[in-house]
Chains A and B, each alone.
Chain A
């Protein structure tokens, strides 16, 4: 077993884990943060995307021990419980950017990272290219792209990062 200490959604977390625990398993099973999903489990689909030190990564292909000493943000960390949704979440709701919803947490975490890197004015082309690592099996990409474009603009006016 290995002792790890990290920050998850702003809160310090200490745990004793088997080194082969994946970050996504640790988040879901140890911390009960089940918003992060396991889709393909092979780093293709992006349902497991979280932010590690502010950058989007696939938590199914990261060991929890590798996150020791680092900061993780999941979909649950975007907005406080009961508070208004994060502007990217709100944009997905408003523009119907989901059907079954399974890919949505990963889509939103990828989208927020995209805005951090490439700004608030995103063309459809850029959004589609950047979604390369996120699959929606309902194939609702049209509305996902619209949601991200709108969410990116809304984030410019929001206090939530």
Chain B
């Protein structure tokens, strides 16, 4: 790891000022992606701005009819939150499937979204549920926030403060994990929303998280796994690596989408 200067701001405003003042600063909260990357010297930020001590940035609460999750809420907080469990149980379950218990005690929702790892779980939830990602500067719709591998709409001095999730009628996340890394080989989040159905896929896309609109249309007509009978996803543009071919991932998307619809139906 190369040298850096460590900053511990107490407010989001202070943190934003530090980002403006120090070019190439990186934000850190749980550090479970950034620290490994810095150890490998794939990143060498001269300044680290630690968000984990900003009071109130990890609050989980209902805001009107939406669930608001603070940016530094840890995966374990979301998984164990009675508020999340009541509002969107599928989101609590997803958080409980990330990494392992010790990782969930450190990793944060804001960190996961800002990093936009193509195999991360939270991006699928945000895209399927139609979440709004709120920053110190503006509001991003999930559809516009994720912009490809490790790439988001965030500007260099922008800080995620919370994520607003509108409540779905039904939802479920099913993940086929890579046994070694525990990241999703493929993960499918299905959400039946008041006006439509969304199916978001992580782990498989060569360009990160994406929606399967053909599945969405079929499920909008009839929310049953049978509505997906005979439907497939083309392997074009999917990842192919030593863990699985593009064809295998395409197959898994169909299987997991069916399972997610069944799981969502069973919950209601």
Contact = CB atoms under 8 A, between A and B. Distances in A.
A20 B3 contact: yes
Question: Closest 3 CB pairs between A and B?
Answer: A133-B100, A19-B6, A132-B100
Given A19-B48, A41-B39, A43-B36, A63 B103 contact: no
Contacts of B2: 20
B1 A46 contact: no
B106 A57 contact: yes
Q: Give the most central of B39, B52, B102, B181: most A CB within 10 Å.
A: B102
B76 interface: yes
Interface string B18-55: 00000000001001100110110000000010101100
A123 B112 CA distance: 31
Interface residues of A, number: 31
Interface in B106-142: 106
B65 interface: no
B237 interface: no
Nearest to A134: B100
A114 interface: yes
Contacts of A18: 3
A57 B105 contact: yes
B5 interface: yes
B106 A132 contact: no
A20 B50 CA distance: 13
Contacts of A58: 102-103, 106
Given A20-B3, A42-B36, A55-B76, A66 B103 contact: no
A66 B36 CA distance: 15
A18 to B, nearest CB: 7
Interface of A: 2, 18-20, 22, 41-44, 46, 49, 52, 55-58, 61-63, 65-66, 68-69, 110, 113-114, 117, 130, 132-134
Contact of B105 (A44, A56, A132): A56
A63 B6 contact: yes
A66 B72 CA distance: 14
Interface string B167-182: 0000000000000111
B97 to A, nearest CB: 10
B182 A132 contact: yes
Given A20-B4, A62-B31, A46 B48 contact: no
Nearest to A65: B6
A43 B34 CA distance: 12
Given A20-B1, A55-B76, A46 B6 contact: no
A61 B35 contact: yes
B248 to A, nearest CB: 24
A42 B102 CA distance: 13
Contacts of B48: 19
Nearest to B177: A132
B5 A19 contact: yes
B148 interface: no
Contacts of A52: 105
B3 A63 contact: no
A52 B35 CA distance: 17
Contact of B106 (A62, A113, A114): A62
Given A19-B6, A20-B1, A113 B32 contact: no
B106 A61 contact: yes
Contacts of A134: 100
Contacts of B39: 41-42
Nearest to A49: B102
A118 to B, nearest CB: 10
A110 B50 contact: no
